[in-house]
Amino acid sequence: MKSFLNILFVLFLFSLPIIAQDDIPSTNIYLFELEQETDTLFNFNNPKFLTDFNSDGYNNQPCFIRNNELLFSARLLGSKQNDIYLLNLEKGTKLQVTKTAESEYSPILMADKFHFSSVRVELDDNGTQRLWRFPISRQNNGKPVFDYLVDIGYHEWLDEQRVVLFIVAEPNYMVVADVRDGSTQQLGTNIGRAFKKLPNGNIAYVHKATESTWFIKELNKSTLRSEIIVQTPRGSEDFAVMKNGIILAGRGTKLLKFDPKKDNDWIEIGDFRDYNITQISRLAISDDGKLAIVGG
């Protein structure tokens, strides 16, 4: 098997099929080294195809836990469940972190830096979705963060004790839950799936105010009040936040940026059609500027 770090993009020579697997599409993860020269000029260097080992399967929800280490959720072609994998981008190695009968999604590094949390779809009659905690070292099989809090779709940590949760319901809603006593406080409804930590420690998220009008909002970690940052690009609910606070979002093959300190609207900074990325969805960015893009 070729090392995923040795496969550079000559993407006019290959294509990526989209194959349904029990309603889970084929997706792949691509890596670029992001270099900002000016307010509007960005370079995307050293492109790499990270998921050649599962190119016809599901590879999604990337999360940098260190500058050279990337967690993500994968379902291998022909499998019926997802596991969490860890890529070491410096060594060019791949490690399966969870190997369970259940499916794990949306890994996020926890505050202690030694554990990550993930949404597990459990094997019961209801397909219960619960938040679990796992050691990166794989020293044990993990345990639930909350015993009784279920229907969790997505999450992000405010601090060591509090986590923002997307609760699957009609309509869906957002809560802040406290690991010390399991208490929750509901904050809003019609929330998008992306939560991202801002440089100031607050949480950015998408509020779908109407069917066609969505906003990225900032949740204050102290007051738990929200303010609008910017309206999302039409139809886009996935974004990433750079270390300097610039927000990146995809729209089709194009990558857009919004700087809350300077910009009045989204600015296009890249088009990835030549890399055969037909639809940019989830994004992750490391502190040193590595950009992971999920494309379908």
**The CATH number of the domain where 83 resides is what?**
2.120.10.30
The whole-number pLDDT of residue 296 equals 82
Query: Per-residue pLDDT for the chain (296 aa), expressed as one digit of tens each?
Result: 444 434 333 332 333 333 333 467 899 999 999 999 999 999 999 999 999 999 999 999 999 999 999 999 999 998 999 999 999 999 999 999 999 999 999 999 999 999 999 999 999 999 999 999 999 999 999 999 999 999 999 999 999 999 999 999 999 999 999 999 999 999 999 999 999 999 999 999 999 999 999 999 999 999 999 999 999 999 999 999 999 999 999 999 999 999 999 999 999 999 999 998 989 999 999 999 999 999 98
The span from the CA of 265 to the CA of 113, in Å, is: 35
Structure tokens at 236: 């886009």
Residue ranges making up the domain that contains 199: 4-295
Residues belonging to the chain = 296
Q: How many independent structural domains does the chain possess? A: 1
The whole-number pLDDT of residue 27 equals 96
Distances (CA, A) of 285 to 94, 111, 204: 19, 18, 15
Q: Is 142 left (phi over 0), alpha (psi -120 to 50) or beta?
A: left
The whole-number pLDDT of residue 29 equals 98
